[in-house]
Chain A
Amino acid sequence: MPTSRITARFDKVKAENRAALVAYLMAGDPDLETSYACMCALRDKGADIIEIGAPFSDPMADGPAIQRAGLRALARHTTLIDVLGLAARFRETDQETPLILMGYANPVHSLGYAAFAEAAHAAGIDGTILVDLPPEEDAELRAEYAKHDISVIRLATPTTHEARMAKVADGASGFIYFVAVTGVTGAGSADPKAIAGNVDMVRRVSGLPVCVGFGVKNGTQAAEMAKIAEGVVVGSAFVEHAQSAHESGDFAAAPRGMGALAGELSVAIASVAKL
């Protein structure tokens, strides 16, 4: 049962008295084979949940690092079906690590919500985060996901006040992704003290684990965020390793670099005991 993979994973990290490390990479960057190696390296070095980015031509919520990653993946003609293929390959040998597909609505809409839900389920996807599909617009997709037990993972932000949060929480499952800063991915980092109250409110209203992301780049920042949330999301910092690999032509450097960063982050997060 896919949703239970997410639940089981949060139960596990809770039992270990720590926060989860949620790692993001862009599928097809620098190529699909390397993405697969990166996913394995991330998992092996301590990533608890993997977010697989599906490239889109117009990523209006992303900063330069993830924009470029998407363009590199598209330059290699990475399609949504390819992204699902990558997930399916990972699932062949890993039945436990939750896989979240993260992207934008149009490629999913283009494939058709019913067809996508079926294919995503078959590929072992546990949930999706579609940035430009807010609660007001995802009823049709949610109905299809319900048939396959796929989670709709919603975003909350510093502009999400408590009354709005009830709407965001309604129909959400898995976890809530709290965007720590008003801004794009990879932008400036948030002060954990400034957002701790928001995170508490999100957890209280939704009853779900809260993962905090945007602007977390190193172990020190991750450890600080781990004090206030059930999970810490790191994206742009991982994607930078794919960019270096693309630029040098040494693709094997991508899983090495991502693995090393995952190791640093997971140790830092584990050093902070949850209260």
Chain B
Amino acid sequence: MDLRNTWDKWPDANGRFGEFGGRYVAETLMPLILDLEKEYRAAKLDPAFKAQMDDMWAHYVGRPSPLYFAERLTAHFGGAKIYFKRDELNHTGAHKINNCLGQVLLAMRMGKTRIIAETGAGQHGVATATMCARFGLKCVVFMGEMDVERQKPNVFRMRLLGAEIVPVSSGTGTLKDAMNEALRDWVTNVDDTFYCIGTAAGPHPYPEMVRDFQSVIGTEARAQMLEREGRLPDAVMACIGGGSNAIGLFHPFINDEGVRLIGVEAAGHGIETGEHAAALNGGRPGILHGNRTYLLQTDDGQILDAHSISAGLDYPGIGPEHAFLRDTGRAEYLSCTDDEALAAFQLCTRLEGIIPALEPAHAIARLGDVVAGMDKDGLLIMNLCGRGDKDVFSVAKALGVDM
């Protein structure tokens, strides 16, 4: 099949991106996700819904975020021009709020009064709790027991915002278990509850819906680049855990065949060690959390724990659209180890005066290789999807600094 210029036609009616995606959920949830899909289709076409989103984006989230020419990093690497899409300047400090805003407005439209969410590092939990505070909705956040311990400041933030935190001790007590527990809550509370998934994964329509809400990143970046440089970039680049910030940047460029799409996965201690979170580079297709996608798993199909210094990338799967873009060759997926991300974190801080989150530090770490392979007058946009305030403690620890 010739896919050129039809990349934006996915998913199909069955929620599939090629052979990935789908609706792999228990029967109890099927009527709910079918209903959600119907409601989302209606909202997408409703000018009032869009107007409400636009208003909140402009006056509450702080959009559009700037497109910034990273002059000193560009000089440092000596290759193509590097631009940062500054999504770390959003309210709550990351791209997560773009999606939470959309889902919470949709939940209210559907008459739901209770929002549940899973969170790893706490960024999606904080963004969800923020929107629930703003609109006066009940918020319950599921978080692995280990993460509750590691991310105390975000736990406190969520509580300040009025959310109930449920520490999850089942399984291995990490993000995937928090997602399992959120699904268990959802099958139990089917009438009043809306599940606000934090990444572009899960059963259809979540991968499409989250992508659409996050596509504000790429839509703005595309227009900003055209205005700044008078042409499209040669490459766009982002880190990938579940992949919501990356798909949000990629998607508005997806039919621009000349624009390379580059994702960077977390290689943890190195893919060869088995301790990583690189589902595309070190996993194989399987079924988890409602979709068919690349997963870290044993030979027997049991899901493995991911590892990354960045809690936001620490997930054994990846959004199904990325699996599709990889297998079709439309996007490229690189990886970056914990140590490389730590070095990039410091480099960006020193050269640009921007403390990035550890997640985008993974993309920063691969910038040198990517721009070296491009023309000097080439243009690249990297999504700086989160700020690093939340990470200063773990970075200090990794660097052996006693705070």
Minimum CB–CB distance for A181 against chain B, Å? 8
> B26 interface residue, CB < 8 Å from A?
yes
Please give me the 3 A-B residue pairs with the lowest Cβ-Cβ distance, nearest first. Answer: A110-B301, A107-B301, A183-B188
Nearest CB to that of A164 among chain B residues?
B31
Given A109-B286, A111-B301, 18 other A-B residues pairs in contact with their CB atoms under 8 A: A56-B301, A57-B171, A58-B303, A60-B180, A106-B297, A106-B302, A107-B300, A136-B14, A137-B23, A137-B24, A155-B27, A157-B28, A158-B28, A159-B31, A168-B27, A179-B27, A182-B187, A183-B184
With known contacts A136-B14, A159-B32, A58–B288 Cβ distance under 8 A: yes
> A59 interface residue, CB < 8 Å from B?
yes
Task: Give per-residue flags for B118-152: 1 if the beta carbon is below 8 A from chain A beta carbons, else 0.
Answer: 00000000000000000000000000000000000
A:64-87 near B, CB below 8 Å: 64, 67, 71, 74, 79-81
With known contacts A58-B303, A64-B170, A182-B190, A131–B26 Cβ distance under 8 A: yes
> A105 interface residue, CB < 8 Å from B?
yes
> A196 interface residue, CB < 8 Å from B?
no
Q: CB-CB < 8 A to B188: which residues of A?
A: 182-184, 187
With known contacts A61-B187, A133-B24, A109–B30 Cβ distance under 8 A: no
Which of A108, A133, A134 has most B Cβ within 10 Å?
A134
> B176 interface residue, CB < 8 Å from A?
yes
Listed by A's residue number, 13 A-B pairs whose Cβ atoms lie within 8 Å are: A56-B301, A58-B177, A106-B297, A110-B297, A132-B24, A132-B26, A132-B290, A134-B23, A136-B22, A159-B31, A161-B31, A182-B189, A184-B188
Residues of B participating in the A interface, judged by any CB pair closer than 8 Å? 14, 22-32, 170-171, 176-177, 179-180, 183-184, 187-190, 285-290, 292, 295, 297, 299-303
Minimum CB–CB distance for A52 against chain B, Å? 16
Q: CB-CB < 8 A to A105: which residues of B?
A: 24, 287
- Whether A132 lies near B187 (C-beta < 8 A) is no
Minimum CB–CB distance for B81 against chain A, Å? 44
> A156 interface residue, CB < 8 Å from B?
yes
Q: CB-CB < 8 A to A62: which residues of B?
A: 184
- Whether B25 lies near A134 (C-beta < 8 A) is yes
Nearest CB to that of B29 among chain A residues?
A159
Q: CB-CB < 8 A to B24: which residues of A?
A: 105, 132-134, 137
A:87-118 near B, CB below 8 Å: 104-111
- Whether B23 lies near A136 (C-beta < 8 A) is yes
Nearest CB to that of A79 among chain B residues?
B300
> A4 interface residue, CB < 8 Å from B?
no
With known contacts A67-B171, A183-B188, A159–B297 Cβ distance under 8 A: no
- Whether B170 lies near A67 (C-beta < 8 A) is yes
> A142 interface residue, CB < 8 Å from B?
no
Q: CB-CB < 8 A to B176: which residues of A?
A: 58
Minimum CB–CB distance for B207 against chain A, Å? 15
- Whether B187 lies near A58 (C-beta < 8 A) is no
Q: CB-CB < 8 A to B289: which residues of A?
A: 58, 60
> A189 interface residue, CB < 8 Å from B?
no
- Whether B180 lies near A106 (C-beta < 8 A) is no
- Whether A60 lies near B30 (C-beta < 8 A) is no
Nearest CB to that of B204 among chain A residues?
A136
Bound complex: CA A138 to CA B66 (Å): 46
> A43 interface residue, CB < 8 Å from B?
no
Nearest CB to that of A160 among chain B residues?
B27
Minimum CB–CB distance for B294 against chain A, Å? 12
> A18 interface residue, CB < 8 Å from B?
no
> A121 interface residue, CB < 8 Å from B?
no
Bound complex: CA A25 to CA B2 (Å): 49
Bound complex: CA A79 to CA B297 (Å): 13
Among A58, A104, A110, A160, the residue within 8 A (CB) of B31 is A160
Bound complex: CA A133 to CA B289 (Å): 11
Minimum CB–CB distance for B145 against chain A, Å? 14
Q: CB-CB < 8 A to A161: which residues of B?
A: 31
Bound complex: CA A158 to CA B29 (Å): 11
Minimum CB–CB distance for B212 against chain A, Å? 22
With known contacts A59-B180, A136-B22, A106–B27 Cβ distance under 8 A: no
Nearest CB to that of A56 among chain B residues?
B302
- Whether A106 lies near B30 (C-beta < 8 A) is no
- Whether B31 lies near A60 (C-beta < 8 A) is no
Nearest CB to that of A107 among chain B residues?
B301
Nearest CB to that of A131 among chain B residues?
B26
Among B22, B171, B187, B288, the residue within 8 A (CB) of A106 is B288
Minimum CB–CB distance for B169 against chain A, Å? 10
Nearest CB to that of A132 among chain B residues?
B24
Bound complex: CA A105 to CA B301 (Å): 9
- Whether A106 lies near B301 (C-beta < 8 A) is yes
Minimum CB–CB distance for A263 against chain B, Å? 31
> A5 interface residue, CB < 8 Å from B?
no
Minimum CB–CB distance for B269 against chain A, Å? 21
Task: Give per-residue flags for A176-188: 1 if the beta carbon is below 8 A from chain B beta carbons, else 0.
Answer: 0001001110010
Among A57, A133, A182, the residue within 8 A (CB) of B303 is A57
Which of B23, B171, B188, B300 has most A Cβ within 10 Å?
B300
With known contacts A57-B171, A136-B14, A164-B31, A107–B302 Cβ distance under 8 A: yes
Q: CB-CB < 8 A to A241: which residues of B?
A: none
Nearest CB to that of A168 among chain B residues?
B27
Minimum CB–CB distance for B307 against chain A, Å? 16
- Whether A60 lies near B26 (C-beta < 8 A) is yes
> A154 interface residue, CB < 8 Å from B?
yes
With known contacts A60-B180, A106-B287, A187-B188, A80–B301 Cβ distance under 8 A: yes
Bound complex: CA A180 to CA B188 (Å): 12
Minimum CB–CB distance for A57 against chain B, Å? 4
- Whether A58 lies near B171 (C-beta < 8 A) is yes
Bound complex: CA A177 to CA B179 (Å): 25
